[in-house]
């Protein structure tokens, strides 16, 4: 009995020795061990996994605004990028990514993303003397004046009353306005959407840049048309709520 056990042990040990522990079948080699999500520290991987679905694979061409827009990056500072990435933008589809806000990313990973966006896509001398309106303004907009600002700066492309024209689509559509924040409207008016051919604040009317107040007012005018009861499709919901006949 003892002798048999001994032989069994010898056979087992030899078998293990032949296979070599690290190369045992099914056991992943060192290169194949998946990295724990919280340990990923490469900007390309973090951006591709978390942002590209909405902001586009190279920072543009997605449904949400391009982050690879040097005008945007010159107007929005790191605090803006950090806040949006970590805490999301309530009331919109921009999610919160920081673990502290219920997301999956560590504080370090949020920093990697913010620094990566800045390093990869900003151009330090983009303005060469031009003075853009500030990212945000505490002065409230005047929507009545905004309607005039709209006629001057926007109607040539977006058509009378914003309902769409030859060169650009409607920007007063209820479903669009229901999903976009006032800040995002301001961001788009200042930084444009160059990947789609939407001009920045100085190119709507060449030689006549918009002032910060112009931007605030046109945003107030757009925001005043946001439906009270957003739904999909907007018309049907509005009818059901007695908003339109
Ligand atoms: C599910 C879609 C979605 C994903 C995923 C997403 N975003 Fe966004 N993001 C949006 C939308 C939509 C907005 C505009 C929200 C609004 O109306 O204010 C936005 C806005 C932003 C803004 C603020 C823009 C401004 O006006 O200043 C930043 C910065 C930003 N996103 C960065 C990121 C980063 C970085 C990631 C990845 C970690 C990411 N987003 C992932 C949809 C998304
Ligand atoms: C030279 C033409 C042109 C002018 C002038 C112009 N836009 Fe646009 N705008 C575009 C194009 C092109 C797009 C992207 C495609 C589309 O929405 O049809 C766009 C997109 C937008 C969007 C984003 C829509 C979306 O789907 O994300 C907003 C908001 C907007 N413009 C607001 C304005 C406002 C406000 C003004 C005036 C201050 C203005 N635009 C002036 C051409 C223009």
**Residue indicated by tokens 């853009």:** 132
Whether residue 174 contacts residue 241, with contact meaning beta carbons closer than 8 Å, is answered with no
Whether residue 70 contacts residue 126, with contact meaning beta carbons closer than 8 Å, is answered with yes
* Interval between CA 166 and ligand 2 midpoint (Å): 12
pLDDT at residue 12 tops 80? no
pLDDT of res. 55: 98
pLDDT at residue 214 tops 70? yes
Residue 174 to residue 178: CA distance in whole angstroms: 6
Angle at 83 between CA 80 and CA 86, to 5 degrees: 145
* Interval between CA 226 and ligand 1 midpoint (Å): 20
pLDDT of res. 146: 98
Which listed ligand is nearest to 199 at the C-alpha? Answer: 2
* Interval between CA 105 and ligand 2 midpoint (Å): 33
pLDDT at residue 150 tops 70? yes
Whether residue 73 contacts residue 200, with contact meaning beta carbons closer than 8 Å, is answered with no
Instruction: Report the atom number in ligand 2 closest to the C-alpha of 197.
Output: 12
Which listed ligand is nearest to 120 at the C-alpha? Answer: 1
pLDDT of res. 23: 60
* Token duo for residue 143: 């929507």
Contacts for 88-91 with beta carbons within 8 Å, 24 or more apart? 89/181, 89/183, 89/184, 91/181
From first CA to last CA, the distance across the chain in angstroms is 94
Residue 108 to residue 110: CA distance in whole angstroms: 5
**Residue indicated by tokens 């500072």:** 77
The tens digit of pLDDT for each residue in 32-62 reads: 777 888 999 999 999 999 999 999 999 999 9
Residue 95 to residue 20: CA distance in whole angstroms: 47
Phi and psi, residue 162, nearest 5°: 80, 10
**20 pLDDT band (50/70/90 cuts)?**
very low
The mean pLDDT value for 92-106 works out to: 96
* Token duo for residue 141: 């907009």
On the 0-12 / 13-18 / 19+ scale of CB atoms within 10 A, 177 is: buried
pLDDT higher at 12 or 34: 34
Residue 73 to residue 171: CA distance in whole angstroms: 23
Average pLDDT along the chain: 88
Ligand 2 pocket list (CB less than 6 A): 153-154, 156-158, 167-169, 171, 185, 188-189, 193, 196-199, 204, 218
């Amino acid at each position: 009995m003892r002798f048999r056990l001994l032989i069994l042990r010898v056979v087992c040990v030899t078998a293990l020795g032949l296979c070599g522990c690290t190369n045992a079948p099914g056991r992943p080699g060192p290169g194949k061990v998946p990295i724990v999500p919280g340990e990923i520290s490469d900007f390309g991987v973090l951006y591709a996994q978390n942002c590209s679905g909405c902001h586009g694979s190279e920072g543009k061409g997605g449904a949400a605004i391009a982050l690879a827009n040097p005008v945007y990056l010159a107007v929005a500072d790191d605090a803006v990028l950090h806040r949006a990435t970590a805490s999301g933008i309530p009331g919109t589809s921009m999610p919160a990514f920081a673990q502290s806000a219920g997301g999956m990313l560590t504080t370090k990973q949020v920093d990697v993303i913010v620094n990566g966006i800045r390093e990869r896509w900003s151009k330090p001398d983009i303005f060469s003397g031009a003075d853009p309106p500030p990212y945000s303004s505490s002065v409230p907009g005047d929507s009545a004046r905004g309607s005039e600002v709209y006629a001057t700066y926007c109607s040539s492309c977006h058509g009378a009353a914003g309902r769409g024209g030859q060169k650009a689509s409607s920007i007063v559509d209820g479903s669009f306005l229901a999903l976009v924040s006032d800040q995002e409207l301001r961001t788009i008016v200042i930084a444009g959407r160059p990947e789609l051919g939407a001009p920045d604040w100085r190119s709507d009317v060449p030689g006549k840049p918009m002032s910060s107040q112009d931007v605030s007012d046109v945003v107030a005018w757009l925001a005043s048309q946001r439906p009270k009861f957003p739904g999909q499709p907007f018309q049907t919901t509005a009818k059901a709520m007695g908003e339109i006949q």
